[in-house]
């Protein structure tokens, strides 16, 4: 290296050092896009799959692999595959279900809006059909499944913004009965509160942008698969569609999940206190919170007891868009923002954000009125959160 020109030294000096003998306590960030080997023979072995190792960033990355391994472990999957966003992850899970012309996906009717659009606009363009059902009415769901013979059932552990908890085990039974696969979007519940694969799902999907990252500073998604045989499809989407998780985001999310349990303990407790406090408030018509559901046994079976999630939805007594805007605009601590699952308390108005694309009639059919506001409860002191909401309600 000493004999080379300064320009060349600047490019190569210090690079490609041996890995340290000591094992790093936390996973390093490996931004390298490509890997070299001692010889072409070694490289040939790796490329042919005879020696497991890294080749190129779109095929796999050690930092991303650490996150994948962690989440597969926590949710008892055979393996996990990470992507650039929650939507990319859901796309991969749907692809793994081998959808083709006239395949039917039977989706929960209060699914996240972009998930509907993914089914109708992207998969729909290839002839995949979407049908919807109320997944909280199991008899109707079974009837519909028998009728439309879906290839996939697509559910969310906790629905948005009505916060209904899905009976995943019952949905898995229906899926088996009709020969369908079950995908559960577990974003709202997190791997701390729910393990969908243990309840019979084939795939658990997360927007890691939410609770997993937890700090509103990373975008990512992950699919955890129950069966090893789904690996080629999920890895294939990663390699060939190419929506891979960036190594920097993987590091943020890997760091995020280390405090997921601590954050969720606090956030769930805060949500419970908040829901209880506002349940009899004169300005509030209704508080939606899974802990108030009459299906206590189901909540216990799906979510880690004694928790009921960290989201609370309120419907204002003056159930209008003007009242909702006035309330949200008056907040001083809680943040007006879409998204959820962050350490900050985030407040969103569903009718003009996540469900904006729906017609007023469709929103009304779903029970999403103009005075409905969703609160993703953060880790702040609960007294401060309550005081802020109180002052905004009287504004
Ligand atoms: N699933 C749910 C339940 C969501 O709320 C979201 C985003 O809000 C997504 C998936 C999509 O995640 P991302 O924004 O990371 O693509």
**What would the pLDDT profile of 110-144 be if each residue is shown by its tens digit?**
899 899 999 999 999 999 999 999 999 999 999 99
Structure tokens at 332: 């001083």
Burial 90-120 (b: 16+ CB within 10 A, else e): bbbbbebbebeeebbbbbbbbbbbbbbebbe
Tens digits of residue pLDDT in 22-70: 999 999 999 999 999 999 999 999 999 998 899 999 999 999 999 999 9
Most ligand 1 atoms within 8 A of CB, residue of 187, 213, 216, 219 to mutate: 187
Closest protein CA for atom 16 of ligand 1: 86
CB atoms under 10 Å from CB of 66, counted, come to 17
When the pLDDT of each residue in the chain is averaged and rounded to a whole number, the result is 96
pLDDT at 357 over 90: no
pLDDT at 204 over 90: yes
C-alpha of residue 105 to centroid of ligand 1, in Å: 18
Look at the chain and count its residues.
Answer: 395
How many Å apart are CA 318 and CA 301, to the nearest integer?
Answer: 35
Banded pLDDT at 82 (limits 50, 70, 90): very high
Give yes or no for residue 344 CB within 6 A of ligand 1: no
C-alpha of residue 206 to centroid of ligand 1, in Å: 8
Closest protein CA for atom 6 of ligand 1: 207
Give yes or no for residue 185 CB within 6 A of ligand 1: yes
pLDDT at residue 1, as a whole number? 87
Residue 253 sits at the vertex; the CA angle it makes with 248 and 259, to the nearest 5 degrees, is 140
How many Å apart are CA 81 and CA 71, to the nearest integer?
Answer: 9
**Active-site residue numbers?**
58, 112, 185, 210
Positive/negative CA dihedral, 155, 159, 164, 165: positive
Tens digits of residue pLDDT in 286-315: 999 999 999 999 999 999 999 999 999 999
pLDDT at residue 52, as a whole number? 87
How many Å apart are CA 366 and CA 357, to the nearest integer?
Answer: 13
Closest protein CA for atom 13 of ligand 1: 86
CA dihedral 58, 59, 64, 66 (to 10 degrees): -170
Of ligand 1's listed atoms, the one at least distance from the Cα of 88 is: 16
Give yes or no for residue 85 CB within 6 A of ligand 1: yes
C-alpha of residue 321 to centroid of ligand 1, in Å: 24
Half-sphere exposure of residue 121, counting CA atoms within 13 Å on the CB side? 6
CB neighbour list of residue 9: distance below 8 Å, 6 or more residues apart:
1
C-alpha of residue 145 to centroid of ligand 1, in Å: 25
C-alpha of residue 92 to centroid of ligand 1, in Å: 14
Give yes or no for residue 112 CB within 6 A of ligand 1: yes
Taking alpha carbons only, the member of 225, 218, 310 closest to residue 256 is 218
Closest protein CA for atom 11 of ligand 1: 86
Banded pLDDT at 358 (limits 50, 70, 90): confident
C-alpha of residue 86 to centroid of ligand 1, in Å: 5
Phi, psi (5° rounding) for residue 202? -90, -35
Tens digits of residue pLDDT in 177-186: 999 999 999 9
Percentage of the chain exceeding pLDDT 70: 100
| 108: helix, strand or coil | strand
CB neighbour list of residue 261: distance below 8 Å, 6 or more residues apart:
192
Tens digits of residue pLDDT in 141-179: 999 999 999 999 999 999 999 999 999 999 999 999 999
Burial of 194 (0-12, 13-18, 19+ CB in 10 A): buried
Tens digits of residue pLDDT in 310-329: 999 999 999 999 999 999 99
Give yes or no for residue 221 CB within 6 A of ligand 1: yes
- Radius of gyration of the chain from its Cα atoms, rounded to whole angstroms: 23
Most ligand 1 atoms within 8 A of CB, residue of 86, 212, 342, 376 to mutate: 86
Give yes or no for residue 87 CB within 6 A of ligand 1: yes
Give yes or no for residue 230 CB within 6 A of ligand 1: no
CB atoms under 10 Å from CB of 71, counted, come to 25
Closest protein CA for atom 5 of ligand 1: 112
Of ligand 1's listed atoms, the one at least distance from the Cα of 111 is: 3
pLDDT at 395 over 90: no
Q: Are 378 and 345 in contact (CB under 8 A)?
A: yes
What one-character-per-residue DSSP string does 339-395 give? ---SSS-EEEEGGGTTTTTS-HHHHHHHT--TTEEEEE--SS-HHHHHHHHHHHHT-
Q: Are 342 and 212 in contact (CB under 8 A)?
A: no
CB atoms under 10 Å from CB of 73, counted, come to 12
pLDDT at residue 359, as a whole number? 87
Beta 372-376 vs 311-316: how paired, if at all? antiparallel
Residues β-bridged to residue 272: none
CB neighbour list of residue 294: distance below 8 Å, 6 or more residues apart:
none
Of ligand 1's listed atoms, the one at least distance from the Cα of 188 is: 3
SS3 content of the chain, % helix, strand, coil (to 5): 45, 15, 40
pLDDT at 79 over 90: yes
């Amino acid at each position: 290296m000493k004999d080379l020109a300064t320009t060349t030294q600047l490019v190569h000096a210090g690079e490609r050092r041996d890995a340290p003998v000591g094992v790093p306590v936390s996973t390093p960030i490996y931004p390298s896009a490509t890997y070299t080997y001692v010889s072409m023979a070694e490289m040939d072995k790796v490329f042919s799959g005879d020696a497991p190792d890294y080749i190129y960033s779109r095929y796999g990355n050690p930092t991303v692999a650490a996150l994948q391994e962690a989440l597969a472990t926590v949710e008892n999957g055979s393996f996990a595959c990470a992507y650039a966003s929650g939507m990319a992850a859901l796309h991969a899970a749907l692809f793994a279900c081998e959808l083709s012309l006239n395949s039917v996906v039977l989706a929960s009717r209060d699914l996240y809006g972009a998930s509907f659009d993914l089914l109708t606009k992207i998969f729909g363009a290839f002839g995949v059909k979407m049908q919807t059902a109320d997944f909280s009415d199991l008899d109707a769901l079974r009837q519909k499944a028998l009728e439309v013979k879906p290839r996939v059932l697509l559910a969310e552990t906790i629905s948005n913004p009505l916060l209904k908890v899905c009976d995943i085990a019952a949905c898995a039974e229906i899926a088996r009965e009709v020969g369908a696969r079950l995908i559960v979007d577990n974003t709202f519940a997190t791997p701390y509160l729910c393990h969908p694969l243990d309840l019979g799902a084939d795939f658990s999907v997360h927007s890691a942008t939410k609770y997993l990252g937890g700090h509103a500073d990373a975008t990512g998604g992950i699919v955890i698969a129950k069966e090893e045989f789904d690996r080629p499809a999920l890895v294939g989407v990663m390699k060939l569609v190419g929506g891979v998780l960036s190594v920097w985001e993987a590091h943020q999310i890997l760091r995020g999940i280390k405090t997921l349990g601590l954050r969720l303990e606090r956030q769930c407790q805060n949500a419970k206190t908040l829901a209880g406090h506002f349940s009899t408030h004169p300005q509030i018509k209704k508080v939606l919170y899974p802990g108030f559901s009459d299906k206590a046994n189901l909540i216990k079976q799906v979510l880690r007891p004694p928790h009921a999630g960290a989201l609370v939805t309120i419907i204002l007594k003056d159930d209008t868009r003007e009242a909702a805007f006035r309330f949200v605009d008056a907040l001083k601590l809680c943040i007006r923002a879409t998204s959820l699952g962050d350490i900050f308390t985030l407040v969103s108005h569903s009718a003009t954000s996540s469900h904006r694309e729906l017609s007023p009639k469709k929103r009304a059919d779903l029970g999403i009125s103009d005075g409905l506001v969703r609160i993703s409860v953060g880790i702040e002191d609960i007294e401060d959160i309550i005081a802020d909401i109180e002052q905004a309600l009287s504004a």
